[in-house]
Structure 1
């Protein structure tokens, strides 16, 4: 598995873990007015994995987003995305001479494959994952950096602030 695909699957797995810890009443919450809800941010994060991988395969971007709302539909979307990435053909080399066109907000972008993945797709997936984490934490959900990255470890109740 390529390192960048490993990154996609790692963070999708973290998103799935975080979603599994959330009470259902948080899914429509936002960080501030005018921002996407926790649920929309989670769906967008999962979609960014497919938005990155499909163009490299030369296929139309696939989405496994569910029509239903809630944690179960988000878990199904993430699982289907993980299955797709696991079973999709490997792409041995990212070729910057091959340009990928996309939209970033209202901007049309055109990036080589490496930049598309590392400067556009991964940061956007992480941004929307961060919003899910921030919204959950702002509503008192007991999450830690370990939930986000799968690496850190702290004792229960630990705080740097005393």
Structure 2
């Protein structure tokens, strides 16, 4: 049996967003135990020119919801990037999980050749559905999830590889 577009996208996005939610929950408990202002953690970044933790989570969710919507040929929902607390980021993660979980394999499968066009202020990118998933969404999504993990790990949160990749199902 060949791998379908649904199998290559939705379950992977769900798993990693769930893992990210668990990591943020661990970070919130850690901040409370260490008497660290949660706003400090949410605004940490790896380098001065990189986005802070909260923006990494926002972009990861944007990547996931955009992937599901575009592959299914439906409108991408717009979320305001206004989260300032762990609870608000958790709500955003859950809203994204609910959205991408609403798609069936029939809505995503067969999207390999669907034309996907992304418009940015300085450029337009055109992809087939397959190239969009494998060359744009996955690298971008994993970059931002990894960066969120790394920001927290770098600053002392005791998490490891299994927190990032999750336990086998």
Q: How does 1:85-100 map to 2 (within 5 A)?
A: 85-90=100-105, 91-100=107-116
Which residue of structure 2 lines up, in the alignment, with residue 6 of structure 1? 11
Question: Is 2:72–2:111's contact at 8 Å kept on the other side of the alignment?
Answer: no
Q: Which has the higher helix share?
A: 2
Give me the whole-angstrom Cα distance separating, in 2, the residues matched to 1:104 and 1:124: 15
**Taking structure 2 as the reference length, what is the TM-score of the superposition?**
0.81
Which residue of structure 1 lines up, in the alignment, with residue 92 of structure 2? 77
Cα drift, residue 98 of structure 1: 1.8
Structure 1 window deviating more from structure 2 (61-70 vs 25-34): it is 61-70
2:70 matches 1:55: yes
Structure 1 segments (4+ residues) deviating >6 Å: none
Structure 1 window deviating more from structure 2 (80-89 vs 90-99): it is 90-99
Where 2:124 maps in the other structure, the secondary structure is strand
Structure 2: 5+ residue runs without aligned partners? 32-37
How many residues were matched structurally?
A: 152
Pick the aligned partner of 2:162 from 140, 146, 159. 146
**Taking structure 1 as the reference length, what is the TM-score of the superposition?**
0.84
Give me the whole-angstrom Cα distance separating, in 1, the residues matched to 2:142 and 2:80: 18
Question: Is 1:96–1:111's contact at 8 Å kept on the other side of the alignment?
Answer: no
Where 1:111 maps in the other structure, the secondary structure is strand
Q: CA RMSD in A?
A: 2.1
- Residues 107-137 of structure 1: CA deviation (Å, up to 9, x unaligned): 4211111111122112111100011011111
Give me the whole-angstrom Cα distance separating, in 2, the residues matched to 1:135 and 1:12: 16
- Residues 7-55 of structure 1: CA deviation (Å, up to 9, x unaligned): 0101110110111111312110110111100110011101110111111
From the superposition, tell whether residues 107 and 66 of structure 1 become closer, same or farther in structure 2 (CA, over 3 Å). closer
Give me the whole-angstrom Cα distance separating, in 2, the residues matched to 1:48 and 1:92: 16
From the superposition, tell whether residues 39 and 71 of structure 1 become closer, same or farther in structure 2 (CA, over 3 Å). same
Question: Is 2:56–2:144's contact at 8 Å kept on the other side of the alignment?
Answer: yes
From the superposition, tell whether residues 56 and 137 of structure 1 become closer, same or farther in structure 2 (CA, over 3 Å). same
